[in-house]
Amino acid sequence: MTTAQPRTQVVTQHRFGGPDVLEIAERPRPEPGPGEVLLRVHAAGVDPADRPARSGTAPLYGDPPFTLGQDVSGEVEEVGAGVTRFRPGDEVFGRIDGGGHATHVTAPAGHFAARPAGLDHAHAAAAPTAVLTAWHALIDIARIGPGSRVLIRAAAGGAGHLAVQLAKAEGAYVIGVAATADHGFLRDLGADELVDDTAGDFTESVHDIDAALDLVGGEHALRTLDTLHPNGILLATVPADLGLAPEDVEARGLRFALVRAEPSGGLLSRIAPLLADRRIRVHVATTLPLAEAAKAHELAEEGRSRGGIILVPHP
């Protein structure tokens, strides 16, 4: 008698398009290869890269069908050959190279770190790409420190609210760009100054910025240059919609860097204590079941969520 192969549910799509192209399907449960773990996903983040990948603006995974999802938190069910860092039953979180919007996913063990104590799976899944992006931009590239003046666009969003806190943890003076309704939320996270870019030209009141983290791109990117100190740097995270050419920055004698977070369980392990003791607090705006992935994408596209949007495969 043949034993049926275990199955897993995934969010997939068969064409590029809007949130409505997303659908639930069943697939054979993957098996971990050498150096990989099989993760039972308890929570998965809806990441900024998901929208351009889904729509085809930036086809990160080639042509459909594919499964989105880079941020996950869950339980290790199996380990592949050569994996000694984790064992079945360990609870981990990490950034992977897609496929996280599923009940199970395989990925290299090196992409994961132990889930921070006191952080549930939903909040752990909201952290990896956001905090890795902020760290890479502000610490690795801009090298901010005490007294640095940091500007963060979309400061109340999934990546922005963590970037605010990371910059404050490094001793920076933080100016957040966000809707007025989010100003109280950001003050509570430590932002020193807040501006609403829908209420006027924020460049008239913001100057001498050492590092501007642009999490939005588009029409305000060029204006953001006007806030920079002569040796300041613009850190852009939206390659599909930079809103400027790097040459525009260089022509003004300013610096520019395109920031892309890479999976790194080692760096997440270093950041985990900041999450565990709430020096960096993760805010989750919404949790939805896996079957409502399209609704989660609609909310993400509205761009008004405070913190992360999370899919829960196992309600």
Give the torsion sign (CA, 277, 280, 284, 290). Answer: negative
Domain formed by 7-127+282-312, architecture: Alpha-Beta Complex (3.90)
Contacts of 16 by beta carbon, 8 Å cutoff, 6+ apart: 54, 55, 56, 59, 64
Model pLDDT for residues 41-85, shown as the tens digit of each residue = 999 999 888 888 999 988 888 899 999 999 999 999 999 999 999
Give pLDDT, residue 24. 95
Are 312 and 289 contacting, i.e. CB atoms less than 8 angstroms apart? yes
Give pLDDT, residue 169. 92
Give the torsion sign (CA, 134, 140, 146, 147). Answer: negative
Residue 190, exposed/middle/buried by CB under 10 A (0-12, 13-18, 19+)?
Answer: middle
% of the chain residues with pLDDT over 90: 64
Reduce the DSSP state of residue 13 to 3 states and report it: strand
All CATH 3.40.50.720 domain ranges in the chain, comma separated: 130-258
Model pLDDT for residues 214-253, shown as the tens digit of each residue = 888 777 777 888 889 888 999 988 766 667 777 878 888 8
DSSP state, residue 136: I
Give the torsion sign (CA, 187, 191, 192, 195). Answer: negative
Model pLDDT for residues 100-147, shown as the tens digit of each residue = 999 999 999 999 999 998 899 999 999 999 999 999 999 999 999 999
- In whole angstroms, give the CA distance from residue 193 to residue 147: 14
Amino acid found at 18: G
Tokens found for residue 7: 């199955």
Q: What angle do CA 201, 190, 118 make, to 5 degrees?
A: 135
- Which of 46, 100, 47 is CA-nearest to residue 73? 100
% of the chain residues with pLDDT over 70: 95
The CA distances from residue 117 to 70, 113, 313, in Å, are 21, 12, 21
Give pLDDT, residue 253. 83
All CATH 3.90.180.10 domain ranges in the chain, comma separated: 7-127+282-312
286-303 average pLDDT score: 90
Contacts of 309 by beta carbon, 8 Å cutoff, 6+ apart: 45, 46, 158, 284, 285, 286, 288, 296, 299, 300
pLDDT above 60: residue 1: no
pTM for the structure as a whole: 0.91
Q: What angle do CA 162, 136, 298 make, to 5 degrees?
A: 50
- In whole angstroms, give the CA distance from residue 283 to residue 188: 12
DSSP state, residue 307: B
- In whole angstroms, give the CA distance from residue 71 to residue 44: 5
Q: Does domain 130-258 have CATH number 3.40.50.720?
A: yes
CA 263 from centroid of its chain's CA atoms: 11
